[in-house]
């Protein structure tokens, strides 16, 4: 009898082990390691059995702090197979936030590399929690058994079933947001949501088993085996994509004939600029996917020069709570929408993906308890983006207030479910496409009206000396003073490059702003050496920090 209530995101791995047993699942060139799907499936089984011997099993919330590696892939699938709940937290969000996230997750186990175990001990992460400990790598004092020891122990019970019969709505993982616009929150993922995301990505981008994926972003890399792709682990610090060595990325794409790459906007920019300077080409890439923040058109234009004419760069829109929501590709951006963006129309993120219902509702910072069609704004009017669908998460872990603020219950007769409030502002155009206009919390409410970050910043970003800009508001909402923070392009290394005087750039920017009704009243410009950005993508600007900095400068 078939168990129709059984869904486990890890079930895709044994399926690949049966259908593509000898195909490469993971390749780690820096360590000279390669695993077939059968070998990865077997290794994750042995890890799962070993973890079970120390009490890590179905429902065990387990903090995982392991760098991208063969162990990372096998361990994550081992936890999914057990029905355990991996807790994945950005390592770069700062020690204070890390400690808070771990406390909120109330984990029962902690699996980490020696460096993570040392930080846990010194900084008191989970000090008041009784944790089962596992160290990945060499043994660490007070870090419990090593993963290698547990994997060896898992050899002794090879007939013991591993794959848990998890329910579709059973918690599969807790993924913490980056905290780029507030306190990081744990997003509860179910097995059904993970499976739906895999289906959407496969259908949306035409990903086929047998493709080769370059894993520059660890969380997206976990989709590789589920999609049947060979995952190449590049030589890079995944927490610092903006500092990646572009030569190593280009070399890996060529050597392994990579067909698919997910990269943050910062990585795409760096690799694209160096690739074009070297006259490189990447003919094996069928597609590039970049997300995490709006990708500037000039970055897409540069990277597109490395690709075959029929290889697009896709920029999906979404969030940890809901992904993907919309998607658009480089031909449409470069051929049409970029010009509207430069004039202040916002950034077009494309049409909602199949199965996702998207509405634009009136802007409010207050909770909205119950859905009403009266909330919906007409096309062309900027409001908050709200979405519903089977790939949208239902709640934050141990944060009922945040959940209440982010969800709108649907109580209409014959209907149920909820809408998720993205916290993003945008509008729908007459063709049905969605245009992103910035975060709701970043809007600048002045005495003469509300300014939205993305439409304003895009106008000033057209200046050739400007790398990026950030609009912030000083003062109380309703009486805010708009201030434009500007980060200039850096001079190319080892070249003589005469900068335009800052006062000249300021005058030119004011002239540019004066030509548009929504930017003509922005008359305060401050130059910042390097914007604070999120660690995950090196692209989301911490405008809250810039606002504090700007306020100090203007005293």
Instruction: Indicate the pLDDT class of residue 155, thresholds 50, 70 and 90.
Output: confident
pLDDT number for residue 2: 44
Q: How many CA atoms are closer than 13 Å to the CA of 100, on its beta-carbon side?
A: 14
pLDDT number for residue 396: 97
Helix (H/G/I), strand (E/B), else coil: 488: strand
pLDDT tens, position by position, 435-480: 999 999 999 999 999 999 999 999 999 999 999 999 999 999 999 9
Instruction: Give the residue from 173, 177, 19 showing the smallest Cα distance to 93.
Output: 177
Distance CA 78, CA 69 (A): 14
Q: Indicate if the pLDDT at residue 93 is higher than 90.
A: no
Instruction: Indicate the pLDDT class of residue 235, thresholds 50, 70 and 90.
Output: very high
Token readout for 549 is: 């900095």
Domain 444-553 superfamily per CATH: ANL, C-terminal domain (3.30.300.30)
Q: How many CB atoms lie within 10 A of CB 275?
A: 22
Helix (H/G/I), strand (E/B), else coil: 55: coil
283: left (phi over 0), alpha (psi -120 to 50) or beta: alpha
Distance CA 356, CA 17 (A): 32
Taking each helix axis from N to C end, the angle separating 95-105 and 114-123, rounded to the nearest 10 degrees, works out to: 90
398: left (phi over 0), alpha (psi -120 to 50) or beta: left
- What is the torsional sign of CA 359, 440, 543, 432? positive
Percent of the chain with pLDDT over 70: 96
CA-to-CA dists, residue 198 to 81, 97, 204, 226, angstroms: 17, 30, 10, 7
Distance CA 103, CA 176 (A): 12
Distance CA 315, CA 287 (A): 11
Q: Is 464 exposed, middle or buried (0-12, 13-18, 19+ CB in 10 A)?
A: exposed
Instruction: Indicate the pLDDT class of residue 157, thresholds 50, 70 and 90.
Output: low
Architecture of domain 9-22+35-190: 3-Layer(aba) Sandwich (3.40)
Respond yes or no on whether the N-terminal peptide bond of residue 324 is cis (omega within 30° of 0). Answer: yes
Q: Indicate if the pLDDT at residue 1 is higher than 50.
A: no
Angle 51-56-60 from CA coordinates, rounded to 5°:
150
Instruction: Indicate the pLDDT class of residue 294, thresholds 50, 70 and 90.
Output: confident
Q: Indicate if the pLDDT at residue 137 is higher than 60.
A: yes
Q: What is the DSSP letter of 336?
A: I
pLDDT tens, position by position, 107-124: 999 999 999 999 999 999
Q: Dihedral through CA 328, CA 334, CA 340, CA 346, nearest 10?
A: 40
Mean pLDDT of the chain: 93
Q: Where are the domains of the chain?
A: 9-22+35-190, 444-553
Q: Indicate if the pLDDT at residue 264 is higher than 70.
A: yes
pLDDT number for residue 158: 64
CA-to-CA dists, residue 310 to 163, 203, 234, 299, 303, angstroms: 40, 18, 25, 18, 13
CA-to-CA dists, residue 128 to 54, 109, 131, angstroms: 20, 13, 9
Which neighbouring-strand residues pair with 16? none
| Cβ 341 vs Cβ 458: under 8 Å | yes
Distance CA 440, CA 437 (A): 9
Q: Which residue has the tokens 């900068």?
A: 499
Instruction: Give the residue from 19, 420, 372, 507 showing the smallest Cα distance to 225.
Output: 19
């Amino acid at each position: 009898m078939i168990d129709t209530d059984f869904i486990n995101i890890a079930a895709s791995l044994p399926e690949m082990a049966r259908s593509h047993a000898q195909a490469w699942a993971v390749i780690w060139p820096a360590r000279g390691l390669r695993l077939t799907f059968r070998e990865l499936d077997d290794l994750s089984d042995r890890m799962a059995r070993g973890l079970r011997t120390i009490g890590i099993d179905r429902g065990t919330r387990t903090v995982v702090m392991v760098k991208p590696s063969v162990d990372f892939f096998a361990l994550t699938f081992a936890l999914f197979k057990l029905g355990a709940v991996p807790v994945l937290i950005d390592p770069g969000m700062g020690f204070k936030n890390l400690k808070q996230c771990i406390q909120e997750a109330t984990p029962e186990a902690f699996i980490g590399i020696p460096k993570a175990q040392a930080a846990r001990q010194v900084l008191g992460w989970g000090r008041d929690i009784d944790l089962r400990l596992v160290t990945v790598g060499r043994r660490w004092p007070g870090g419990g058994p090593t993963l290698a020891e547990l994997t060896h122990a898992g050899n002794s019970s090879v007939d013991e079933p591993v794959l848990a019969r998890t329910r579709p709505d059973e918690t599969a993982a807790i993924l913490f947001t980056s905290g780029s616009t507030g306190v990081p929150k744990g997003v509860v993922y179910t097995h059904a949501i993970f499976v739906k995301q895999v289906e959407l990505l496969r259908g949306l981008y035409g990903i086929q088993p047998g493709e080769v994926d370059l894993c520059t972003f660890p969380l997206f890399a976990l989709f590789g085996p589920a999609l049947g792709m060979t995952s190449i682990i590049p030589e890079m610090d995944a927490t610092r994509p903006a500092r990646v060595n572009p030569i190593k990325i280009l070399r890996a794409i060529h050597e392994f004939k990579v067909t698919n790459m997910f990269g943050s906007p910062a990585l795409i920019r760096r690799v694209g600029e160096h690739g074009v300077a070297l006259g490189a080409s990447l003919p094996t890439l069928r597609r590039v996917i970049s997300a995490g923040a709006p990708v500037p058109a000039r970055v897409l234009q540069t990277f597109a020069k490395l690709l075959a004419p029929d290889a697009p760069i896709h920029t999906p829109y979404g969030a940890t709570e809901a992904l993907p929501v919309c998607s658009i590709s480089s031909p449409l951006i470069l051929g049409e929408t970029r010009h509207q963006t430069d004039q202040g129309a916002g950034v077009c993120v494309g049409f909602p993906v199949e199965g996702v219902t998207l509405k634009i509702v009136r802007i409010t910072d207050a909770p909205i308890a119950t859905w009403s069609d009266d909330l919906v704004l007409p096309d062309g009017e900027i409001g908050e983006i709200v979405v519903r669908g089977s790939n949208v998460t239902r709640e934050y872990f141990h944060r009922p207030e945040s959940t209440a603020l982010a969800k709108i219950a649907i109580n209409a007769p014959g209907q149920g479910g909820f809408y998720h409030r993205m916290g993003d502002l945008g509008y729908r155009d007459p063709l049905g496409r969605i245009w992103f206009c910035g975060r709701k919390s970043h809007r600048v409410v002045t005495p003469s009206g509300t300014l939205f970050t993305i439409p304003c910043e895009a106008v000033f970003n057209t200046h050739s000396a400007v790398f990026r800009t950030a609009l912030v508001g000083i003062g109380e909402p309703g009486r805010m003073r708009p201030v434009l923070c500007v980060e200039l392009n850096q001079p190319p290394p080892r070249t003589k490059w005469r900068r335009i005087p800052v006062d000249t750039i300021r005058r030119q920017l004011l002239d540019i702003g004066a030509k548009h009704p929504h930017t003509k009243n922005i008359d305060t410009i401050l130059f910042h050496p390097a914007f604070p950005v999120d660690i995950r993508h090196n692209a989301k600007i911490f405008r809250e920090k810039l606002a504090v900095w700007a306020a100090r400068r203007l005293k």
